Amino acid sequence: MHKKILLIAATELEIGPLNSLLKEQGTVDVVVAGIGGVCTAYGLAKQLTRQRYDLVLQGGIGGSFTTQYAPGAVAVVSSDCFGDLGVVEAGQRRSVFDLQLAQADAPPFTGGRLLNPHHGLMALSGLSRAMGVTVNEVTTDRDTILHFKNDLGAEIESMEGAALHYVALQESVPFLQVRAVSNYVGERDKTKWALKEAVFKLNETLGQLISVLMQSA
């Protein structure tokens, strides 16, 4: 059974309702690591030096590149990548793998991506599987959006997902990244966002998922 679960998120805003309940129950450890990949990598790695877990569960909101994941939708991210790790030259974005500064298939990478190999866990979630991209700043540039969507196959954008995948793969810890969509990538009019709905859906989904995982063999 998954008896020891760690829930990690960037902000209290994203998991606040569930966090209050988990504190009362005392069954799941929670880390609010801060915004961005560096904060997530540090917070997760530090926690894993203190305690080993049967599962690390990351919950957060994100942007969508496709109508398949409209605002309010929830998905589990099956693979992620660092979208802005490289160079922009003559209007073209090239990754560290394109530049041959790193090997695209050197562990924990597979073809330049960070895959979640835990298919049973993803199936157990009952969520649709999405391709992710992780960036250090919210994407608004049209050409960059098209690059992430068309060249990288990204469906959901976050600022922390790939960091979770990287650390968990390196430490051989089972993991799931769950994202609720708050907006379409590039849409800056927040009146068109579904932030409250995304947070509600995220906490509802995480609560149900934790219950299933705690009972599963």
Express each pLDDT in 88-129 by its tens digit.
Answer: 888 889 999 999 999 999 999 999 999 999 999 999 999 999
40 vs 134: CA distance, rounded Å: 12
Express each pLDDT in 113-170 by its tens digit.
Answer: 999 999 999 999 999 999 999 999 989 989 999 999 999 999 999 999 999 999 999 9
Residues facing residue 29 across a β-bridge: 6
Choose which CATH entry (3.30.1280.10, 3.20.20.70, 3.40.50.1580, 3.30.365.10) describes domain 5-215.
Answer: 3.40.50.1580
Taking 60 as the threshold, does the pLDDT of residue 23 lie above it?
Answer: yes
Give the pLDDT score at 1.
47
Express each pLDDT in 3-20 by its tens digit.
Answer: 899 999 999 999 998 988
For residue 2, how many other CB atoms are within 10 A of its CB? 18
Q: What burial class does residue 76 get, using C-beta atoms within 10 Å of its C-beta: 0-12 exposed, 13-18 middle, 19+ buried?
A: buried
Q: What is the mean pLDDT of residues 53-60?
A: 97
3-state helix, strand, coil in the chain (%, to 5): 40, 30, 35
